[in-house]
Amino acid sequence: MADRLSSPQDPIERPRDHCGLFGVYGHSNAAMLTYYGLYALQHRGQESAGIVSAKSDGEPLQRHVGMGLVSQVFDDASLREMRGDRCIGHVRYSTTGASHLENAQPILVDCGRGKIAVGHNGNLVNANVLRDELERGGAIFQTSADSEVLLHLMTPPREEGQKESALRRALGRLRGAFSLLIMGEKEIIGVRDPFGFRPLSLGRLDGAYVLASETTAFDLIHATFIRDVKPGEIVIINRDGLHSVQMDTPKGREAFCVFEYVYFARPDSVLEGRAVTEVRRELGRQLARECPADADVVVPVPDSGNYAAQGFSEHSRIPQEFAFVRNHYIGRTFLQPTQLIRDFNVRVKLNLIPSAVAGKRVVVVDDSIVRGTTARARVVNLREAGAKEVHIRVSCPPHRHPCHYGIDFPTSGELIANNHSSEEIKTYLGADSIGYLSLEGMFRATGHPASKFCAACYTGEYPVPFEADLDKFVMQKRRVARASLGDEVLELDRQKLL
Ligand code: SF4
């Protein structure tokens, strides 16, 4: 168990963020506002960033994208170049497609309908099947990202009719998770899939409309939050104002990602009407009710465990101590993965203050345990620092299944809770006790009914069917399969997913 679980080959020790979207319509400083909006959403993707802008109606769209952080991709000169009153922007972590510049978003194409750009947050579970169909029809793709299929679906060469109906028809073919920003030559459009997996909010600033993945982006630019875009809603903003229509797809149940509350979203955002900080505190209080511990000090795993630890401390009346200090200024380390280096990696990210825990019974509050290797190293650190007892408490249920809707998890076999009991995990971590929040307790803490959420990574009940081998490199794999096995082999998947 130890060897397999401590494999250094897969670097996914925590689930990775997905993507962030920000758009502006009708503001003379649109590019600068989009830059700041993306800055606030940097936690949702750090691999690449991009902005598409338009000077005025009918003018060609301009695109600037690059690899790296928002502050590395843009500078004064590039932002000055992007004059105009509307923009859409994107920060990316690749949940489908490799981490290359060609996959940076927004993707921009020039077609019979003029220039169209799209930025996507989420994961399309049938993108490979759609792409296969489009490629057979002669479409040429410029990226390996799932998002590009939407552009091809919207722009068939002989398609007649209105843009809006073409868009609704195209959206109706997508399956999976998608919050989108689309920009044409006269408008920007915000879309949220019928399940509402990923957030998207609408705001106003100086008479302009703004759209963002999280409300924290509005705070930074002093925009006023108006409302969330509804599941299945298409919001079209142009010189006539804002026009809302529903997607043609029949409305199913909601499936908002509950893990946005637990871990992904910034604590200063408001999601679905609830402040993330308050939900996280309540997760901690509920955890203390369900899994109390006889201890002297509550220690959060920063930063995402901070508010749950606060709630645990409040309810249990055990004082909280910030014994772990996070280093915010490290990138990836590319040294050989020896035991010494793995230990270094853990310590450089999160250093421990020994005096805060020496001689004490410690409750460590974390928001998730994925593979368990980092959590185990932390227990070792605590014991070396003189902690008398170490009790692990997790502010959500065990993660037993991967996500297919835009969050990068390890495979099922690598998730420690997939095939090990809590008792086995406790032993592997070297802890004195372990306690996970129940599914019901997690839903209760959000203040919303369970029926609002996707919780598939806990339960294995996926709201939208997906292919058995779906992962972030599925597009590349599919091309190889088609080349070597022939088209008929893929027919089964087509019938299942289209
Ligand atoms: S599977 Fe988990 S991480 Fe993925 S959308 Fe559902 S709740 Fe969120």
Question: Does one domain contain both 335 and 225?
Answer: no
For the CA of 257, the nearest atom of ligand 1: 8
454: in domain: no
Question: Does one domain contain both 320 and 420?
Answer: yes
Cα 458 to ligand 1 centre (Å): 8
Question: Does one domain contain both 246 and 302?
Answer: no
Most ligand 1 atoms within 8 A of CB, residue of 405, 458, 462 to mutate = 405
Question: Does one domain contain both 247 and 318?
Answer: no
* Strand-by-strand arrangement of the 48-54 sheet: 61-67, 48-54, 86-92, 19-25, 208-212, 201-205, 224-228
For residue 319, the enclosing domain spans 278-447
Cα 349 to ligand 1 centre (Å): 26
Q: Is there a contact between 190 and 171 (Cβ–Cβ < 8 Å)?
A: no
Question: Does one domain contain both 358 and 305?
Answer: yes
Question: Does one domain contain both 223 and 309?
Answer: no
Most ligand 1 atoms within 8 A of CB, residue of 19, 258, 448 to mutate = 258
Question: Does one domain contain both 119 and 178?
Answer: yes
Region of 422 (left: φ > 0; alpha: ψ -120 to 50; beta: rest) is alpha
Residue closest by Cα to atom 2 of ligand 1: 457
Tell me what percent of the residues of the chain surpass a pLDDT of 70: 83
Instruction: Using the 3D structure, point to which of 425, 447, 469 is the last residue of a domain.
Output: 447
Q: Which of 19, 396, 454, 457 is catalytic?
A: 19
Cα 176 to ligand 1 centre (Å): 11
Residues lining ligand 1, CB < 6 A? 197, 257-259, 403, 405, 407, 454-457
Residue closest by Cα to atom 4 of ligand 1: 403
Q: Is there a contact between 231 and 251 (Cβ–Cβ < 8 Å)?
A: yes
Residue closest by Cα to atom 8 of ligand 1: 257
Amino acid at site 144: S
CA dist., res. 410 & res. 403, Å (int): 9
What's the CATH code of the domain at 333?
3.40.50.2020
106: in domain: yes
Q: Is there a contact between 467 and 494 (Cβ–Cβ < 8 Å)?
A: no
Output the pLDDT for position 471.
Answer: 56
427: in domain: yes
Most ligand 1 atoms within 8 A of CB, residue of 412, 454, 461 to mutate = 454
Sign (positive/negative) of CA torsion 128, 406, 415, 456? negative
What DSSP state is assigned to residue 16? B
pTM for this entry: 0.88
Alpha helices in 430-490 (DSSP H): 439-446, 456-459, 474-485
Question: Does one domain contain both 303 and 409?
Answer: yes
Residue closest by Cα to atom 5 of ligand 1: 257
Cα 3 to ligand 1 centre (Å): 28
Output the pLDDT for position 268.
Answer: 97
Tens-of-pLDDT digits for all 498 residues of the chain? 322 233 333 344 565 557 999 999 999 999 999 999 999 999 999 899 999 999 776 678 999 999 999 999 999 999 999 988 999 999 998 655 566 788 899 999 887 777 899 999 999 999 889 998 888 888 888 888 788 888 888 876 555 556 777 888 899 999 999 999 999 988 999 999 999 999 999 999 999 999 999 999 999 999 999 999 999 999 999 999 999 999 987 777 899 999 999 999 999 999 999 999 999 999 999 999 999 999 999 999 998 899 999 999 999 999 999 999 988 776 544 444 555 665 666 667 788 999 999 999 999 999 999 989 889 999 999 999 999 999 999 999 999 999 999 888 778 888 999 999 999 999 999 999 999 999 999 999 999 999 999 999 999 999 998 876 555 555 555 554 544 444 444 444 444 444
CA dist., res. 89 & res. 22, Å (int): 5
When divided into structural domains, the chain yields a total of 2
Give 355-387 as a DSSP string: GGTTTSEEEEEES--SSSHHHHHHHHHHHHTT-
Cα 104 to ligand 1 centre (Å): 23
For the CA of 399, the nearest atom of ligand 1: 2
Q: How far apart are the first and last CA of the chain?
A: 40
Instruction: Using the 3D structure, point to which of 408, 426, 447 is the last residue of a domain.
Output: 447
Most ligand 1 atoms within 8 A of CB, residue of 259, 263, 404, 415 to mutate = 259
Output the pLDDT for position 434.
Answer: 98
380: in domain: yes
157: in domain: yes
For the CA of 15, the nearest atom of ligand 1: 3
197: in domain: yes
Question: Does one domain contain both 206 and 321?
Answer: no
290: in domain: yes
What's the CATH code of the domain at 129?
3.60.20.10
Cα 112 to ligand 1 centre (Å): 37
CA dist., res. 51 & res. 73, Å (int): 10
CA dist., res. 403 & res. 105, Å (int): 22
Question: Does one domain contain both 245 and 282?
Answer: no
19 counts as catalytic:
yes
Cα 359 to ligand 1 centre (Å): 39
259: in domain: no
